A and B are shown apart, each in its own frame.
Chain A
Amino acid sequence: MAHYRLKAPLSDEDILRLHAGDTVTLDGIIFGIRDANLIRLFDKKVELPADLIPQLKGSIGIHTAPGVRKLHDGTYEKISIGTTTSYRMDRFTKGLLKDYGMKVIIGKGGLLEDGSQALVDFKGCYFTIIGGSAALETTQVEAIEDVWWEDLMPEAIWKFRVKDFGPLIVSIDAHGGNKYKDVKKVAKDNLDKLLESLN
């Protein structure tokens, strides 16, 4: 298992180097996405703001809605930036990769079958960040550089600049590797044995 330091934009080659179990530290730009903005984009079919679309090619997304303070000049100061559970946004994974060229999604809890398959089909990766560890994440966010769809506050789309962002675990890769699936398979065997012992 290797450790990588990465910065977006990422290419297919960058992604194919990564395997489930590797660890990553990130610098640079990540985009905050989650339920409300992805529902608007993919279900209500509202196109993204024009200046955002080209920035998403090779980009890294993170499932989040941060706590922020709005300053007088209209910019935002971080209060608490952490990561939410990913399965709710699983069905948007394919669209983000296929239509907008996003390469990595950071989240917690893992993706479901469809989202994991999309990573294989469109060469993407899912990085796990430790859930509940916002205090740590917040210290690794240098700035909130931009925001779109502020009316969905706090579920707007956010542009964060991060430094030494991690620890991140490559938990689902573009080769079909999936740490969550591996653990669940072992846990299922254990569960079956435990249930059997209770009969």
Chain B
Amino acid sequence: MAVIDYKANYTNVWEVDDNFYQYVEDTCKTLYIESLKDLPPDVRRALERAHEREELESGKEILSTLIKTVSTADDQKLLICQDTGIPVYFLKIGSQVRFDGIRLQQAIKKGTERATLEHPLRSSIVNTLTRKNHGTSTGNQVPVLHYEFVEGNEIEILIVPKGSGSENMSYLKMLTPAAGIEGIKKYVLECVFESGANPCPPTIVGIGLGGTADKCAALAKKAAAREVGSPNPDPDVRKLEEELYILINKMGLGAQGLGGSTTALAVHIEAADTHMTCNPVAVNMMCWPARRMRATFKSNQEPIISY
């Protein structure tokens, strides 16, 4: 966090008007639907590369089925996967934007509901105790929202519909400092082994390191949502990403857990500092249809949609 270097700059403040919230609602509807149909180019490339590299014939065939699924979704405007997931949004909020946070949250929720009812999409969200499905893909504290404040005068909203096959394969362990980096590597390998075929491999393995238990789990999710081929800028962290990528793919679980060298498309780590007694590790995997789509909002402009 570069908070210490931050010099407040209010030369270009954007005070949003009422139209902004309607834009957010309409755009979130679009983001949810389109993210389920149109896989980001980096994930497509990663699948193509994996297909080229895979030496096990049956694994190669599975990877070609994945690629065929993506092109079928393109051609026929179909959802890639029927699991519309838990809608998760990551927001980047510029320091010079002035808005009502409650109305922003409501607009995101409304857009998510409208996508579900108007497309229609399968609603996967239920009350955790009664198991009643609300039919709207929303509910108590769903969509899940993550906020980050950045310099500038834009708001970025990234949707990550998180499929449950991979979400159910999530792990957290408070390792000891004595376990060290080797302990982190071992734990991640054990988690990937344990999850087997369930998270729809090849996955993006998202890893959170440090912080508190809750912060660590959130970092793992943020890591899993990163673009394939976007290494962590910290060289120590990047080295660990590269090592784990090689180790995981040596295990032989393969695409769909049916063998081969394509278990992970990428390994991403997000790290925070932690207590001197703590060494927290969280793992959150992203299934091969690593869906995401973002919109950037600026003053007096239509929202810009990208991956």
Q: Could you say which of A136, A180, A187 contacts B72, with CB atoms under 8 Å apart?
A: A136
* B165 and A135 contacting across the interface, CB-CB below 8 Å: no
Q: Could you say which of B69, B84, B123 contacts A136, with CB atoms under 8 Å apart?
A: B69
* A194 and B196 contacting across the interface, CB-CB below 8 Å: no
Question: How would residues 190 to 202 of chain B score, 1 for a CB under 8 Å from any chain A CB and 0 otherwise?
Answer: 1001001110100
* A194 and B66 contacting across the interface, CB-CB below 8 Å: no
A109-B257, A167-B61, A187-B252 given; A79·B79 CB < 8 A: yes
Q: Could you say which of A134, A186, A190, A191 contacts B79, with CB atoms under 8 Å apart?
A: A134
CB neighbours (8 Å) of B82 from chain A are 64-67, 80-83, 134, 137-138
CB neighbours (8 Å) of A134 from chain B are 69, 78-83
* A191 and B189 contacting across the interface, CB-CB below 8 Å: yes
Q: Could you say which of B122, B164, B186, B200 contacts A108, with CB atoms under 8 Å apart?
A: B200
Kindly state whether residue B120 has any CB partner on chain A within 8 Å.
yes
Q: Could you say which of A139, A155, A171, A199 contacts B258, with CB atoms under 8 Å apart?
A: A171
A80-B79, A85-B198 given; A132·B257 CB < 8 A: no
Scan residues 119-155 of chain A and give those whose CB is less than 8 A from a CB of chain B: 128, 130-139, 153-155
* A183 and B65 contacting across the interface, CB-CB below 8 Å: no
Kindly state whether residue B264 has any CB partner on chain A within 8 Å.
no
| Contact residues on A (Cβ < 8 Å of other chain), bracket | 35 or more
Of all chain B residues, the one with the shortest Cβ separation from A182 is B259
Kindly state whether residue B251 has any CB partner on chain A within 8 Å.
yes
Of all chain B residues, the one with the shortest Cβ separation from A184 is B196
* A194 and B247 contacting across the interface, CB-CB below 8 Å: yes
| Contact residues on B (Cβ < 8 Å of other chain), bracket | 35 or more
* B256 and A191 contacting across the interface, CB-CB below 8 Å: no
* A183 and B122 contacting across the interface, CB-CB below 8 Å: no
> A interface, by DSSP: helix, strand, loop or mixed?
mixed
State A125–B198 Cα separation when bound (angstroms): 19
CB neighbours (8 Å) of A199 from chain B are 182
Give min CB distance, B73 to chain A, whole Å: 4
Question: How would residues 129 to 144 of chain B score, 1 for a CB under 8 Å from any chain A CB and 0 otherwise?
Answer: 0010101000000000
Kindly state whether residue B217 has any CB partner on chain A within 8 Å.
no
State A131–B122 Cα separation when bound (angstroms): 17
* B78 and A82 contacting across the interface, CB-CB below 8 Å: no
Kindly state whether residue A169 has any CB partner on chain B within 8 Å.
yes
State A131–B252 Cα separation when bound (angstroms): 18
- Residues of chain A touching chain B, judged by Cβ–Cβ distance below 8 Å, are 36, 64-69, 79-85, 87, 108-110, 128, 130-139, 153-155, 167, 169, 171, 179-180, 182-184, 186-188, 190-191, 194-195, 198-199
- Residues of chain B touching chain A, judged by Cβ–Cβ distance below 8 Å, are 58, 61-62, 65-66, 68-70, 72-73, 76, 78-84, 119-123, 131, 133, 135, 163-165, 168, 182, 185-186, 189-190, 193, 196-198, 200, 247, 250-254, 256-259, 287-289
**Could you list 9 examples of A-B contacts with CB < 8 Å?**
A81-B82, A133-B68, A134-B83, A138-B79, A139-B72, A167-B65, A184-B257, A186-B259, A187-B193
- 6 extra interchain contacts, Cβ-Cβ under 8 A, other than A82-B79, A131-B197, A133-B69? A85-B198, A110-B197, A131-B81, A186-B259, A187-B252, A190-B252
